Structure 1
């Protein structure tokens, strides 16, 4: 009786036809090939790690979607700084996807699905500070389409269409009737770069575009700077700090470090750079010893100090806007972004001392992120 039942179950079980089997094998082979190409891209960008990246590579990364293996992540991040006012305008847009079927983003369930080679369902988020008030653009489980040949990204946030078009150095960003910006080449020491870290089987790589931007935001004139970034990685969530500050005279400073834990003061993969626009010189710290501390108040003040054998930098950043993103699924990540203005700055080298009075007013972003791989 038991054998009869087993035979009956086998008879009722659907059997894949040869075309179906071949199709599954082809899809699996295509996935494997795609993952290999993702690793190859991360290795390539990590080997560049600087501004010597071609326009072709920049556009290829910006206008493509990669095949993501487990722990894979891919996102587009657009940040804009205004130049006017005590607390300049800032705005940020994010398109984020990761490996898996779903995730929680700010406690909202997000369906993750690769629909076609260049079309996927993921999350979009964004915010605007108009100089006086904070405007949350919301979190949307949007369908995003990336057109490689047409150099176009189309998505949606809270019912407003997001569209980025163009190629380096000229782009246009439009978000419904909220944002309409022309992005053009600016006068910077470095206006693009490609960077990465590759420690097999993990890796993270990205490209940056630094430009000027002009247009309309929330019905008001905007004139300032643009930072367009595309990131692809195969890694766990984890804690880090990142910041970039632009000054009135065209100089800028940026820093980055990974941390061993949320409250840890042990940093690794550290970087600290100052772009001295007046002297047309990039000052890069070699294996900088970083110290980053938070002074609590109504809004946090961040103090960043770094030095190597012959250079020392200190900057005090006062926060005036903050936005928090919390992600769960395949690990967890809390990402807090602070709009900041520098209240103190000093850079000492064997040949010069630069202070805030030499640079003029500044504006920037400081990021505090922490997470867990489980």
Structure 2
């Protein structure tokens, strides 16, 4: 397939995902998105994010693995030159990176300029000399990284176990798919049990500043929020949303365009949102931090904070939820800016 046809296919995919904007994504489209390399026009980017949250301990195990590529020949990623050669339609040079918080300290896995090979149901790459393989089909997947990580994923006990979203404003656009799973296996030689968030993003747009968070509770209820912001320290937020899923009682509360405030106070992130009769306040305590710096063809600072909720209140006309109802939780909040 020629380059122009492949770029057209990239835009077609983003358009399809933007028409879903919810959980009603079929498994064929989800896995086609997850296990494919798209042809990227100028401003094009692709990300594969693999996040894992443990269930045990005061500061649960967390893992992030990343594959990233963009249009262009090269960029600096954490001050290391990375090239983005397209070797074939299914094989590219990309950035691979990751980190593991083991319950006591954060272990960074060295940033690598690695070959990524994508097959129908498999991604093969490496990070810092350890082979990384992600394989399977919805809802069952397997992630291995050398002898560091061996995790099996299966259908999660969540209200939503998959979704697809997108924004399509030609010639710009962004689309992504998510899978929310149970995960179990071994990490750094120890047993692991928890949850996984698997995500593939493809976009044609400049880097932009945003916040995103996902917190999973003991009873598998989920709190998440997302917003675009105008700059690093801006409190002007766009495209705002907050979601809460009470898995035990099968209740969903959504704030689709709330009045929102997001601030960092010491070692806590505080999120407050109000929309008509709905009110949300979350205080998330940081226990580990990882930072990515990207420069060249656009710049981005991308910081992940491993967090535990210290306070949470979610109200509407009929319900009030607090940590007393949900139990302990764990998750990540992200702060990205130019």
1:251 to 214, 218, 221: 221
Structure with a larger share of its residues in strand? 2
Q: Which residue among 99, 105, 128 is the counterpart of 1:133?
A: 105
Of structures 1 and 2, the larger Rg is shown by 1
Q: SS of the counterpart of 1:50?
A: coil
Shift of 1:202: 1.2
Provide the rounded CA distance (Å) in 1 between the counterparts of 2:321 and 2:119: 45
Question: Hey, what does 1:17 align to over in structure 2?
Answer: none
TM-score by length of 1: 0.89
C-alpha RMSD of matched pairs (Å): 0.8
State the match for 1:342 in structure 2: 309
Deviation at 1:277, TM superposition (A): 1.1
- Indicate the SS of the match to 1:122: strand
Between the two structures, name the one with larger relative contact order (CA 8 Å, sep ≥ 6): 2
Contact 2:240–2:256 (CA<8 Å) still a contact in 1? Answer: no
Specify every segment of 5 or more residues in structure 1 that has no aligned partner in the other structure, as ranges: 1-26
User: 284, 296, 302: which one pairs with 1:329?
Assistant: 296
In 1, Cα distance between equivalents of 2:61 and 2:256: 33
1:76 aligned onto 2:48: yes
More helix by share: 1
Q: Distance in 2 between matches of 1:185 and 1:315?
A: 27
Question: How far apart in 2 are the matches of 1:127 and 1:163?
Answer: 16
Give matches, 1:100-115, under 5 Å: 100-115=72-87
The gaps in structure 2 that reach 5 residues or longer are none
2:181 counterpart residue number: 211
Cα deviations by residue, 1:101-127 (Å, 9 ceiling, x for unpaired):
000000000011110000000110000
Counterpart in the other structure of 1:152: 122
Q: Find the aligned partners of 1:223 and 1:276 in 2 and give their Cα distance.
A: 21
In 1, Cα distance between the equivalents of 2:248 and 2:277? Answer: 21
How far did residue 32 of structure 1 move? 1.1
Q: Structure 1 residue runs of 4+, over 6 Å off?
A: none
TM-score using structure 2 length: 0.99
Aligned pairs for 1:23-38 within 5 A: 30-38=2-10
